[in-house]
């Protein structure tokens, strides 16, 4: 069990560019979550996958954001036409169906210039 | 959504002191987790405690679900305990399990 991993750990981009983040959950976990955290706040929910199905999306997830989990294993989160307000830490978590204790990855820190 | 309130927002202690962090939530829950966020931003799991009491070394936690609060106790604090402590809950009755986080307690432990 290597834990949840995320790549890249840091991303600096210019406004208007597209970025993609990857999350690899704990291998036996069916559930995968994306959260976003801004300075001084707790993480906020973005979206949830159970296996490959995306079952819930937050209002925070505008149409510039898209997430996939194509084979029910790793997931990607893409942000198109980035804005300065997208600067944040993007956190991925996974859990088993039996109890939903969520385990978080190290996060991807996005800075939009 | 569920409202999660943590107190105090900031706590400054000298090494060796004990502390209690509180988490109040506004609805019935089927998941409650305490996390410690390290300086690099990683959320470290401390407790999964939707009800009852658990202990792990110098840390312990109690959740009284019927009264909608949880407490995290830190005894004999060390400088390595510094960081932000988050409480997060998931609503009872939801099968999706999204967590609602409080704003955290910033703990600073001085040597």
Report yes or no: B109 and B15 within 8 Å, Cβ to Cβ: yes
Confidence of residue B55 (pLDDT cuts 50, 70, 90): very high
pLDDT (average), residues A11-16 = 98
Interface-testing mutation among B41, B88, B92, with chain A (most A C-beta atoms within 10 A) = B41
- Output the CA–CA distances (angstroms, integers) from residue A71 to A22, A91, B25, B108, in the order listed: 14, 20, 36, 43
Write down the pLDDT at residue B25. 97
The beta-carbon neighbor of A43 closest among B30, B96, B101 is: B101
Bridge pairing between strands A108-112 and A103-104 = unpaired
Q: If you search the block for the tokens 């996939």, which residue do you land on?
A: A68
Nearest CB to A104: which of B30, B43, B102?
A: B43
Q: Do B103 and A40 touch (CB under 8 A)?
A: yes
pLDDT > 90 in chain A, percent = 87
Tokens of B75: 């005894």
3-state secondary structure B25-49: ECCCEEEEEEEEECCCCCEEEEEEC
Which residues of chain A does B103 touch, with a Cβ-Cβ cutoff of 8 Å?
40-42
A99 and B35 in contact by Cβ < 8 A?
no
Q: Per residue in A17-65, pLDDT tens?
A: 999 999 999 998 999 999 999 999 999 999 999 999 999 999 888 899 9
Q: What is each CA distance from A52 to A31, A69, B64, B71, B102, in whole angstroms?
A: 9, 5, 35, 36, 29
Exposure letters B72-103 (e unless 16+ CB within 10 A, then b): bebeebeeebbbbbbbbbbbeeeeebbbbbbb
Instruction: End-to-end CA distance of chain A: give it in Å, rounded.
Output: 36
Measured in angstroms, the CA of B23 and the nearest CA of chain A are apart by 13
Contact at CB, B88 and A56, closer than 8 angstroms: no
Instruction: Output phi, psi for B16, to 5 deg.
Output: 100, -15
* Residues of chain B with C-beta less than 8 angstroms from the C-beta of A107: 41-42
Q: How confident is the model at residue A68 (pLDDT cuts 50, 70, 90)?
A: very high
Is A100 close to B90, i.e. CB distance below 8 A?
yes
Q: Could you tell me which of A108, A101, A90, A105 has the C-alpha nearest to residue A30?
A: A101
Give pLDDT, residue A1. Answer: 56
Q: What are the CA-CA distances from residue A83 to residues A15, A66, B24, B94 (Å)?
A: 5, 15, 34, 33
Q: Do A104 and B42 touch (CB under 8 A)?
A: yes
In this predicted structure, what is the pLDDT of residue A61?
85
Least CB-CB distance to B98: which of A33, A37, A91? Answer: A33
Report yes or no: B88 at the A interface, CB cutoff 8 Å: yes
Per residue in B75-93, pLDDT tens? 999 999 999 999 999 998 8
């Amino acid at each position: 069990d290597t834990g949840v991993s995320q790549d890249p750990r840091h991303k600096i981009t210019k406004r208007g560019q597209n970025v993609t983040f990857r999350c690899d959950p704990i291998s036996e976990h069916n559930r995968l979550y994306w959260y976003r955290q801004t300075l001084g706040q707790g993480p906020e929910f973005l979206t949830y996958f159970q296996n490959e199905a995306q079952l819930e999306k937050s209002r925070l997830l505008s149409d510039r954001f898209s997430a996939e989990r194509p084979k029910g294993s790793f997931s990607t989160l893409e942000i198109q036409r980035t804005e300065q307000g997208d600067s944040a830490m993007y956190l991925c978590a996974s859990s088993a169906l039996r109890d939903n204790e969520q385990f978080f990855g190290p996060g991807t820190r996005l800075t939009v210039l | 959504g569920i409202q999660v309130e943590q107190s105090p927002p900031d706590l400054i202690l000298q090494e060796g002191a004990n502390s209690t962090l509180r988490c109040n939530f506004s609805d019935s829950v089927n998941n409650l987790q305490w996390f410690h966020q390290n300086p690099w931003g990683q959320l470290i799991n401390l407790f999964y405690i939707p009800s009852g009491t658990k202990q792990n070394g110098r840390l312990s936690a109690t959740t009284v679900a019927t009264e909608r609060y949880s407490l995290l106790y830190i005894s004999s604090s060390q400088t390595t305990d510094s960081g932000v402590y988050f409480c997060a809950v998931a609503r009872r009755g939801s099968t999706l399990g999204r967590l609602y986080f409080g704003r955290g307690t910033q703990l600073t432990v001085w040597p």
